[in-house]
Amino acid sequence: MDKYEHQKIEAKWQKIWDETNINKVDLKKAANPFYNLMMFPYPSAEGLHVGNVFAFVGSDVQGRYHRMNGFDVFEPIGFDAFGIHSENFALKKGTHPARMVPKNIDNFRENQLKKVGNMYDWTHEVDTTSPEYYRWTQWIFLQLYKAGYAYREKAPVNWCPSCKTVLAAEQVINGECERCSSEVTKRDMAQWFFKTTAFAQKMLDNLDWIDWSEKTKVAQRNWIGRSQGAQVVFTIDGHDESFEIFTTRPDTLFGVTYMVFSPEHPMLARIVAPEQRAAVEAYQAQVAKMTEIERQAEGKEKTGVFTGAYAINPVNGEKIPVWVSDYVLMGYGTGAIMAVPAHDQRDFEFATKFGLDIRTVISPDGQVHPLEEAYAGDGRMINSGQFDGTPYKEGIRKVTEWLAEKGLAKFQVNFRLRDWCVSRQRYWGPPIPIIYCEKCGAVPVPESDLPVRLPELENYQPDGSGDSPLKRSPEFYHTTCPECGGPAVRETDVSDNFLCSSWYFYRYPSTDFADKAFDPELTKKWLPVDLYVGGNEHAVLHLLYSRFLCMAFKEIGLVDFEEPFKRFVAHGLIVRDGAKMSKSKGNVVNPDDYIREYGADAFRVYLMFMGAYLEGGDFRDEGVRAMRAFLDRVWTNLTPGDDLQKSEPKDEETLYWLHRTIMAVGNDIQRFSYNTALARLMELLNHITKNNVRNKVVFECYLKMLSPFAPFLCEEMWRRLGHQDSVALQSWPVHVEEHTIRQTVEYVVQINGKVRAKMNLGTGLPEEEIESLVLDDERVRNWIEGKKIVKKIFVPDKLVNLVIK
């Protein structure tokens, strides 16, 4: 028998699979469609990351398993190649992204993805930077615009001084840029937004039924951040001005001792008292200079300034001072709050610092106690006029209703979610297809003029001016108005890269259509996606944006479903030797090296064996070697030969191990428990080698079950057993129930819950028979001698527990 030469075998089958298009699905005719999606990679110059391989292989195992179970599996892949990441890298290397990206894609496809051995249908590849693709990204922008889901507004937006562009709220992580970790500042700019907030409630509601990893749903619920309360109207004393505040605790309205406006609140300038104007303006200037991190630093001491103005409390007509402080955010609620220091910790700190009144209005026992901190616990209302004695929860409703009757309040739901800021002042993205005309205003580019091509600029550096580099190209910038034909200019911002990735899975089945983004018939047949496997780091980015877009599509009438992914499974993260992988630590796993040295199969098997797929794992070099040794043992033991038995094995043990394995491996794969599935296969191999099993049926079943994990090796061995067709196209083996049960089982005999004996007894014997056999056993007799049996527990085919006294 020749040696297991992985390089030869893998190259051979990769070529044959490629040439025969073994993974191509007839999308129109498929009877039993299963859309198996994985998160398409960003084609970096460094090459495929081991985390990508881990994610993709785990997804591919599902694809292969489903195909062997009768599904027509569509498993496409593509490249998310627009975006700041590519652009920054190109800038650093001094090349042009338009020249760099195709090279990277080529490397990903030919040298990496194909070698890994996933069942990709390469006839439906997608590249977001190709005009054939981004033409439709722009078209989608226009559909949203026409339907009122896209709007342009001047607003304080997140600005990354290093990337020199604005960012969406989701792309600011703890005050830092998601891409480069620079501190983000606020900047007032006119930007394009998508109305994600229009679907806040629906996105929240649907989380109750979509089949997604719980942790992903939790992250989304958190991010959407629904809170229920009341909007209450206050008036300014001596001014003809009123303003609204949002509160979740209208029951504490009698405890309001001051009001706070956010420094950005537009009403401030009109109400501030003359003698306080200088102080307020100085404070506003000071806050404006701070970064988000400085402003939100934990434990930061409260700052603020009195405005000199007074508000009137609608519940009792009291005059209360109005302050300005940066602990009130313009972007949430109404940008102004009522402060109840007795029952809100932030207000408590502020009031303590500035010597403002603290008035208890909720008490567990009806008494006022001195407070060390705000009291947020249960209790009844006190010092609250006619509401005294009302439990606070009831008070929330009653006070709101009472004010509502007078037109001073209403029940209100607030969301933390903001609209999606999609403008980017960068070069490497799809230009936003809008033209500005002095006469006609913002005019959408006619669909027939799409794509608005991204010009090949040699000088594409962002300049931090707040304008995209595209503005520096007169040929691009100046155009004519599609409506009146007069002189006009183009929008020069490009759209957020996350827009490209919010719809790529609609495009995969429809890559053959040049005249539409996605074909309605194919979309109806293949979408929503059956299974999406990916990293949870996209819980509030890609996965949220994709849901928004799908809901907008549904409203517009482009699709008839409102959730794009029927099932989403978040895989775990992998670390190396217990530590996070990072370039600076120099402990990054380069998949190419391992694939070359041990083979893609050994690498795949190891990644899936390393730990629980949904939890992540710890990558160790010895582990890869061990998996190579495992595959070597498969290779040397499951060999063809004249000595092979052709029919089902006769001995009970072999039948038991085989059928038990078939049953377990299928179950394990279905619940993504790949490490235990492989452990089962190792056990079966141990049985085969120990007992020198030489049985063709056993070998064939074995190769089928191992093939999702080690497709190359299993294909080669399958053919050597005399087959003309691929192992990947075989049916998954079916276990026979009776073979999974042995004639005897090992009973555990417990005395008072402690294991005292183990006995091999007949399977399925009645309780009485087992009992007499157990009581006959010498060990058992020794334990119960002179004692009384007070209780007997019998678990069929498993255990007997005797309780003695």
For residue 588, give the DSSP letter.
-
Residue 37 and residue 59: Cα distance in Å, rounded? 8
Closest CA to 804 of 794, 785, 110, 796: 785
Number of residues that bind RNA (CB under 7 A): 86
Draw the binding track, 674-693, toward RNA (x: CB under 7 A; -: no contact): -xx-xx--xx--x--xx---
Residue placing its CB nearer to RNA in the complex, 300 or 516:
300
Nearer to RNA, 48 or 800 (CB): 800
Q: Provide the token pair at 470.
A: 């595209």
187 vs 633 by CB, closer to RNA: 633
Which residues from 131-160 bind RNA, rule CB under 7 A?
A: none
227 binds RNA (CB under 7 A): yes
Q: Say whether residue 295 binds RNA (CB under 7 A).
A: yes
- When asked if residue 629 is in the footprint of RNA (CB under 7 A), the reply is yes
Closest separation in Å from C-beta 593 to RNA: 12
Question: Which residues ranging from 476 to 515 are in contact with RNA (CB under 7 A)?
Answer: none
Torsional sign, CA 290, 292, 293, 299:
positive
Q: Which of 254, 243, 248 is nearest to 357 (CA)?
A: 254
For RNA, the binding residues in 538-557 under the rule CB under 7 A are 539-540
Q: Which stretch binds RNA (CB under 7 A): 135-143, 267-275, 426-434, 608-616?
A: 608-616
CB nearer to RNA: give 43 or 572: 572
By CB under 7 A, what part of segment 33-72 binds RNA? none
Tokens 């559909």 sit on residue = 143
Shortest separation between residue 54's beta carbon and RNA, angstroms? 13
Q: Please state, in angstroms and as integers, the Cα–Cα distance from residue 765 to each residue in 411, 739, 742, 769, 786, following that order.
A: 67, 17, 13, 7, 28
Tell me which H or E stretch contains 632.
helix 621-637
Contact call for residue 623 and RNA (CB under 7 A): yes
CA dihedral over 42, 48, 52, 57, signed as positive or negative: positive
CB of 796 to RNA, least distance (A): 10
d(CA 453, CA 470): 11
Please report whether residue 754 would count as binding RNA according to CB under 7 A: yes
Distance CA 619, CA 581 (A): 10
C-alpha 94/C-alpha 105 separation (Å) is 18
User: Can residue 535 be called a binding residue for RNA (CB under 7 A)?
Assistant: no
In the complex with RNA, the residue whose CB is nearer, 620 or 719, is 620
DSSP E strand stretches across 39-110: 72-74, 78-79
Give min distance, CB of 679 to RNA, in A.
Answer: 3
Q: In terms of DSSP H, where are the helices of 186-323?
A: 200-206, 214-224, 268-271, 277-288, 292-296
Q: Which is nearer to RNA, 44 or 227 (CB)?
A: 227
The Cα 561–Cα 547 span in angstroms is 11
DSSP category for residue 791 = E
The region of 357-365, 474-482, 533-541, 555-563 touching RNA under the rule CB under 7 A is 533-541
Min dist. Cβ of residue 252 to RNA (A): 9
Q: Is 327 in the site for RNA (CB under 7 A)?
A: yes
Q: Does 218 bind RNA (CB under 7 A)?
A: yes
Report the residue from 445, 558, 559, 664 that binds RNA according to the rule CB under 7 A.
664
Determine, following the binding rule CB under 7 A, whether residue 85 of this chain makes contact with RNA.
no
- Report how far residue 361's alpha carbon sits from residue 382's, in angstroms, rounded to the nearest whole number: 5
Stretch touching RNA by CB under 7 A, among 132-140, 277-285, 497-505, 611-619: 611-619
Of 129, 66, 409, 449, the closest CA to residue 251 belongs to 409
- What DSSP character marks residue 348? H
**Minimum distance between the CB of residue 218 and RNA, rounded to whole angstroms?**
5
Helices 50-68 and 600-609, packing angle to 10 deg: 90
For RNA, which is the closer residue by CB, 525 or 625? 625
Stretch that binds RNA, among 105-113, 472-480, 651-659, 744-752 (CB under 7 A): 744-752
Residue 694 touches RNA, criterion: CB under 7 A: no
Q: Which amino acid is present at 682?
A: M
Q: What are the tokens at 594?
A: 């391992």
User: Which H or E element spans position 719?
Assistant: helix 711-720
Residue among 78 and 341 whose Cβ is closer to RNA: 341
Q: Residues 263-292 vs RNA: string with x where CB under 7 A? A: ------------------------------
Question: Does 414 help bind RNA (rule: CB under 7 A)?
Answer: yes
d(CA 511, CA 514): 8
Which letter, b or e, does each residue of 249-272 get, where b requires 16 or more Cβ atoms within 10 Å of its Cβ?
bbbbbbbbbbbbbbbbbebbeebb
Q: Which of 80, 125, 326, 496 binds RNA (CB under 7 A)?
A: 326
Our finding on whether 354 is near RNA (CB under 7 A) is no
Which stretch, 503-511, 543-551, 558-566, 614-622, contacts RNA (CB under 7 A)? 614-622
d(CA 555, CA 562): 9
In terms of CB distance, is 111 or 174 closer to RNA?
Answer: 174
> In this structure, what token pair is assigned to residue 1?
């028998």
| Interface segment toward RNA; rule CB under 7 A; list 449-457, 606-614, 652-660, 733-741 | 606-614
Contact characters 167-196, RNA, x per CB under 7 A: ------xx----------------------
Torsion of CA 185, 186, 192, 194, to 10 degrees: 90
Contacts to RNA from residues 561-590, by CB under 7 A: 578
Hey, which residues between 773 and 792 contact RNA (CB under 7 A)? Answer: 791
